[in-house]
Amino acid sequence: MMMAKPIRPEPPAKTGERLLDVKGLTIEIETRNGPATIVDGIDLHVDKGETLGIVGESGCGKSLTMLSMMRLLPNKIKVTKGEANFAGRDLQKMSNSELRKVRGGEVGFIFQDPMTSLNPVMRIGQQLAEPLIYHRGMSKAEARKRAGELLRLVGIPGAEDRLDAYPHELSGGMRQRVMIAIGLACNPQLLIADEPTTALDVTIQAQIVDLVKDLRDKLGMSVVWITHDLALIAGLVDRINVLYAGTVVEDAPVDALFANPSHPYTQGLLASIPKLSDERSTRLSSIGGTPPEPGRRPKGCPFAPRCPLAETICHERVPALEGLSHGGAHRVACFVAQRKLEAA
Amino acid sequence: MSVVPMTTTPIEIEPPVSLWRDAWHRLRRNKLAVFGLIVVVILAFAAIFGPYLTPYDFLSQDLNSRNIAPSLSHLFGTDDLGRDVFSRVVYGTRTAFLVAIVVTFIAVLIGVTLGALAGFFGGWLDRIVMWLTDMTMSIPNLLLVVVINASLKSPITSWMEGRYLATLNPIYRETIWVDFLLVFGSMALISWPPYARLVRAQVLSIRSRPYITAAQALGLTNRIILMRYVVPNALGPLIVAVSAGLGTAMVLESAFSFLGVGVNPPTPSWGNMISDGLRVWQHYPHLLAAPAAVLGLASVAFSFLGDGLNDALNPRGAK
Ligand SMILES: Nc1ncnc2c1ncn2[C@@H]1O[C@H](COP(=O)(O)OP(=O)(O)OP(=O)(O)O)[C@@H](O)[C@H]1O
Ligand code: SF4
Ligand SMILES: [Mg+2]
C-alpha cells in the first residue's frame, strides 16, 4: 500500500493569472493574556475573472482576513506574518498613498451591514461621488452624473432622484444596492463582498446575488463573496474556500465541493443546509460544540475537538491543505480525507 | 474608458447641497426653532447695542420717581432707587450673554478636551476623566458653588483689601472682577461634565462606526474622513448641547444671584434683579415680572433653538 504521494500540481487557474494571492497571513489580537492568534497562516488566491466564495461559521475570521489584506484592521488587531499580493504588489508593504489608490480604486468593498456602513449625514449621491472625485479626478458635476448611472446600474428605481436622499430614507435592500454601487464606482478589478445580504430578507438576497452576477459578467471583474450560506452562492461562485478557525480547511471548485465534500466540517455545513425552508436556526445543528476561541487553539487540527472522525494524529499535528483530485484543484486539510483518497 | 454604459438621456445636474445648507432649510421649516432664533438674535442685538440705545442710563437714579409702575416714559417702570427697569433689563442682557458665553466657552473647552482625550485614548486616562465627571455631577451643584464662593470670596476680597492698604496699588482696589471670576469660574466648574460625556461618547462611537472603515476602504484620506465623516457626525450633538447650555447658564446665574453669590449690584443682571424683585413683588410686581419674563423668554428661546438644531442637523430624525 505504500504509494508515492500523488503528484499535486498547482490548481489550474481560470485565466491563468493571479489577481490576489495571500500567503501565510497571520492575524493576532492583543488580549490581557498576551497576543492570541485569530487567523493562522491563511492562504487564499483569486484569479482574474474568477469568483471565490468564502464560507464559515460566524467568528472564523472571514471579515478580518479581508480587512487585514487592505490594512483596515482595528487598533488591537495586527497582521504578524504573511503577505497579500494584489496584481503582483504586496499590499502589506506598499506605502500609505499607494495603498489608498488600491483601496476603492482597484479593490471595491461591500460591507456586511448596509444600515451602518453608510455615512448617515451625507447624501448618497455625495457618498458615491467621493471616490470618483478622489480616484478618477472627476469634477463634481461629472461625478454626480456617474453616480446617477451607478444607481441605475444597481437597479434603484428613479435613480437620479435618489441621489439627494439620505441613507435613512432608503430601505435595507436599497441601501445594500447603494453600497454595491459605491463598491463598483471606480470599476475595480476585484470586488470583495462581505456577507452583503445577511441583513436582508430572502427574496432580496437572491436579487442581490443575481445583480452581482450580472455586473461581474458585464464588468469582467473578480469577486470574493463571503457568506455563512453555502446554498445562496452556489450559482454565483466558481470556487469555494471553507474557513474554520482562521484557516482554509477545504478549497474546491463549486461543483466538486457539493458533489464530494471531503472535510468533515464541510460535510457538516452541507448537511445542515435546510432543505426547502428558510429555517436558518438549524444551521450547523449537525456539528456539536463551538469553534476554538482565539488564544485557545488546539495544538493539532483546529477542528479536532468537534470532529466525529478525529484520531490520535489529529490532536498532534496540523494537517496541510493538500490536493485530492481534479488535478489538485480540490484541496483539503484533513488526515482522514487524504488517507481515504490514497487508499482508493 | 468607463465600462458602465452611458445614459442616452441627459440628466438634470444640480450641484450637491451641503449638510449645512440642508440643515438651514430644515431649521427654517421648524416654527419653534425660528421663533427661538429670532428671540436669540434680538437679545444678542440688545446685549451688544442696547446700552447705547436705551432712554436712560442703567445707573442713573431719580429719587423723585421711585417704584413707578410701567408707563410710556418708563416701559418696565422704575425700581426703589428710581432707576429705569427697562434700561437695566437691557443691560442685564449684556451680563447674561457675557456670563453665558464665557461660562459655556470654558465649560465646552474643559469638556471637549477631557471628553476627546478620554474617548480617544481610553484606558486609565478614560477612567480618571470619567471619575472626575461622575464626582462633579454627584455633588449638588448649588452646594458646590456656595461653598466655593463662601470659602474663596471673602478670603480673596479681604486679602486684596489688605494688599491695597499696604501697597496702595490700584490693582487691588477693584474687587468686582473677583466676583466675576468666582461666578464664572464656579459656574464653569459645574457645567463641563455633560460636554465631556457627550464628546467622549461621540468620539468612542464614531471611531468604531462601520462607515469610517467603509470610508477608509474607499481610499479616502484621513483629512477627508475627518472633515466629512467624523466631524459632521460629532458636531451636531455638541452644537445642540451648546445652544441649550447657553440658556441653562443664564438660568444658573439667576439661581446664584438668588443665593447671593451671583453678579453683584450695581451691575444689573437678570438674576440680581429677580432676587431684589422677589422681596417686594406683592407691592411692585413689575420689578419681578420684567426680568423674570425676559429670562424665561431667553431660556425658552435657546432651548427651542437647540431642539431645532438637533432635528436640522440630524437628517434621520427629520420628517
Ligand atoms: N474589533 C474586534 N475586537 C476584538 N475582537 C474582534 C474584533 N473583530 C473581530 N474580532 C474577533 O475576531 C474573530 C474573527 O472575526 P471576524 O469578524 O473576522 O469573523 P467573521 O468570520 O467575519 O464572522 P461573521 O460571520 O460573524 O461576520 C472573532 O472571534 C471575533 O470575536
Ligand atoms: S484532521 Fe482529523 S480532526 Fe481534523 S478534520 Fe480531519 S479527521 Fe477531523
Ligand atoms: Mg464578518
The predicted pLDDT at position A63 comes to 93
Q: Which helix (H) or strand (E) holds A82?
A: strand A77-86
Tens of pLDDT, residues B117-132: 887 677 898 999 999 9
- Say yes or no for a CB contact (<8 Å) between A145 and B13: yes
* Residue positions counted in chain B: 319
Label residue B31 by pLDDT band (50, 70, 90).
confident
**CB A223 within 8 Å of CB A193:** yes
For residue range B174-230, list pLDDT tens digits in order: 766 777 777 788 888 889 999 999 989 988 888 888 999 999 999 998 778 877 887
Question: Do A144 and B16 make contact, defined as CB atoms within 8 angstroms?
Answer: yes
Residue with cell 438651514: B24
Per-residue pLDDT of chain A (344 residues; tens, 9 = 90+): 444 444 433 333 445 689 999 999 999 998 888 889 999 999 999 999 999 999 988 889 999 999 999 999 988 899 999 999 999 899 999 999 999 999 999 999 999 888 889 998 899 999 999 999 999 999 999 999 999 999 988 888 888 889 999 898 898 888 988 998 999 888 899 999 998 887 777 887 888 888 889 888 888 899 999 998 888 888 899 999 999 999 999 999 999 999 989 999 999 888 876 654 444 444 455 677 788 887 778 889 999 999 988 899 999 999 998 887 656 789 999 999 888 877 66
Which residues are near ligand 2 (CB < 6 Å)? A 263-264, 301, 303-304, 307, 309-311, 314, 319, 334-336
Subunit contact B219:A74, Cβ cutoff 8 A: no
Task: State the amino acid at position B48 in one-letter form.
Answer: I
Give the distance from residue A218's alpha carbon to the nearest chain B alpha carbon, in angstroms: 8
Judge contact between A153 and A215, C-beta under 8 A: yes
Q: Which residues of B157-178 are buried (b: 16+ CB within 10 A; e: fewer)?
A: eeebeeebeeeeeeebeeeeee
Q: Would you state the pLDDT for residue A28?
A: 93
B7 Cβ under 8 Å from any chain A Cβ: yes
Cβ B33 vs Cβ B25: under 8 Å: no
Residue nearest ligand 2's atom 5 by CA: A334
The number of beta carbons lying within 10 Å of the beta carbon of residue A204 is 17
Sign of CA dihedral A246, A252, A257, A263: negative
What does pLDDT average to over chain B? 79
In angstroms, the CA A305 to CA A296 distance is: 12
Mean pLDDT of the region B232-258: 85
pLDDT of residue B34: 93
Whether B115 shows a pLDDT value over 80: the answer reads yes
In eight-state DSSP terms, residue B227 is: I
Q: Give the span between the Cα atoms of B46 and B92, in whole angstroms.
A: 9
What pLDDT, on a 0 to 100 scale, did the predictor assign at position B169?
A: 78
